[in-house]
Amino acid sequence: MLEFFWRVYRKIRFKITNIDQRIIIKGKRASYKASKSIFVSESAVICLETNLSTQESGKITIGDKSFIRGNLEVQRAGGIINVGKKCYIGDGTRIWSAENITIGDNVLIAHNCNIFDNDTHPKDIKERRLDAEDIIWNGIRRNFCSLGKKPVIIEDDVWIGANVSILKGVSIGKGSIIGTGSVVTSNIPAESIAVGNPAKVIKKICGGM
């Protein structure tokens, strides 16, 4: 019984110590005050269903007039998420960083997408066991040596359809479209339409930008 209460206490303590911004409710929306780790433009909208959270030394930046419904989490120390101006991030979308995720201006990301700049768990079996225990029982994520991570770059004017997964190390060029349900494992050039698992370019966008 004592162990149970100790686990609950550690979870509550973790949540409290990681809340470094105040939320102001405005109707059915919430806006986050600027802090050392989270900066949201005054003209951006952060919906109530959204979660913005960072680990130590992580950073999240949301640009002017962006509308955020999904969850943005810096899950490992030093991770960065930068969202540009006039972007839309749909509900159920998860953007998880341990390295660096950069999203340009005027990017549309539909609902239930996953964008990860890391493998989410270490490859080494022993490290993976420790990682799972840390997450479940202590609410922390350490930077293990075998955790694969590479930056993700989504350039301006990209449109990402629903249920798309974008994996670590991927760059998506300006103006491209990623079809619904695709899994992006390699770079997509600018002004292209890509679909499938793994996503492949099926055509160029006529007329370009």
User: What is the amino acid identity at position 186?
Assistant: S
Of 11, 65, 111, 121, the active-site residue reads 121
- The CA dihedral of 72, 77, 81, 82, to the nearest 10 degrees, is 140
User: Could you give the 3-state DSSP secondary structure of residue 202?
Assistant: strand
- What would the two tokens of residue 85 be? 């101006």
Residue showing tokens 């201006």: 105
User: Could you give the 3-state DSSP secondary structure of residue 12?
Assistant: helix
DSSP per-residue string spanning 17-42: HT--S-EEEETTEEEEPP-SSEEE-T
* Residue 111 designated active-site: no
Residues 6 or more apart from 188 whose CB is under 8 A from it?
170, 171, 172, 173, 176, 178, 194, 199, 201
Residues annotated as catalytic are 121
